[in-house]
Each structure stands twice: as structure tokens, then as C-alpha cells.
């Protein structure tokens, strides 16, 4: 995180969000157990947000968030999604440049007590945004955030989230 703060160029930082992964995991597990297939509205939770200030203005922001995705794993094979999403393994897909300064990861996580289709139709989605961050540093933050969060989720078969940025095909 220190390296991310340095890229923002600010001399003063303010940190926010809900850094307790267990609190966020509990909320998401509750949502998964209440989820029904047509429901596409999912709350996004900020795990960490860092605002860097220089003088009276914000010089940069780094944001890490998690939510249940509106994209299912079955949608990853569509021509539109296959151009930007890469399959890392059987349970993880990444989109290294989903927008300006944004990287995204989708991971399959079966929640005990949820409906049968939940693991593939309602995967976890992790986002890290920071326009001052390079792709490598953004991936480091995304990967660390997702791995630490998944440890708290009690997935039936935890997804394997790599620490190194997956190679482009």
C-alpha cells in the first residue's frame, strides 16, 4: 500500500473503508444466502480507500472494493467478454484494464446454504482503481485484497488467486 500512496504524489493521506475482511465477508455471505437468480442489484463494499492530498486538493485516490458480480462465469465465454477477460484457472477471471486505472477480478465462491446456481451465477467481483498506479502495482493490490478477503469467506472450494499478474495470451 505504501508504494500505491507514493504514486499519488500527495504528501498527506486519508484512509477509509471497512478494512475488516471478516465484517465484509459476513455481509456478502448473508447476501448470497438471500440471493435469487433474477436479482442483479448488488451492494459494492469499499474494503479500503486512500485519498492523497497535496495542498487543498486531492492528488490521487486508490480504491479497493468487493461485491457479488452481475456477470456470471458462463458469460465469460461470450465474444464481447472474451476480448477483455482472461481465464486464470477454473474459478478466476481477470480484466487488467477494465477502465481508466481499473483492474477487476471475478472469482467463483460457493457459499454454504446458498442456492445451487450461486457459485457460477453469482461470483465475487473485486475491483481496484487508481489512475496513478501502473498495471503491475494495481494487480498486486487487487490480488492481495482478493486473497485476504477470500480467506474470510469460507468458500466450499476457495478460488486460487495468483499473486503474480497472469500473462496475456
139, three cell numbers = 494487480
The burial of 32, by beta-carbon neighbours within 10 Å (0-12 exposed, 13-18 middle, 19 or more buried), is given as buried
Question: What digits encode the pLDDT tens for the residues 45-56?
Answer: 888 777 666 667
pLDDT tens for residues 27-83? 888 888 888 766 667 788 888 777 666 667 666 678 889 998 888 888 888 888 878
DSSP 3-state percent helix, strand, coil across the chain (nearest 5)? 30, 30, 40
Amino acid at each position: 500500500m505504501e508504494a500505491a500512496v507514493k504514486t499519488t504524489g500527495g504528501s498527506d493521506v486519508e484512509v477509509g473503508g471497512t478494512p475488516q475482511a471478516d465484517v465484509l465477508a459476513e455481509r456478502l455471505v448473508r447476501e448470497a444466502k438471500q440471493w435469487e437468480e433474477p436479482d442483479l442489484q448488488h451492494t459494492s463494499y469499499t474494503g479500503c480507500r486512500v485519498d492523497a492530498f497535496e495542498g487543498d486538493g486531492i492528488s490521487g485516490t486508490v480504491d479497493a472494493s468487493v461485491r457479488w458480480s452481475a456477470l456470471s462465469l458462463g458469460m465469460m465465454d461470450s465474444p464481447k467478454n472474451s476480448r477483455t477477460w482472461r481465464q486464470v484457472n477454473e474459478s478466476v477471471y481477470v480484466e487488467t484494464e477494465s477502465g481508466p486505472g481499473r483492474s477487476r477480478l471475478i472469482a467463483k465462491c460457493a457459499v454454504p446454504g446458498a442456492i445451487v446456481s450461486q457459485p457460477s451465477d453469482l461470483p465475487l467481483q473485486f475491483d481496484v482503481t487508481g489512475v496513478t498506479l501502473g498495471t503491475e502495482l494495481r494487480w498486486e493490490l487487487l490480488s492481495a485484497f482478493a486473497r485476504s478477503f477470500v480467506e474470510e469467506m469460507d468458500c466450499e472450494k476457495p478460488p486460487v488467486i495468483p499473486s503474480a499478474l497472469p500473462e496475456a495470451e
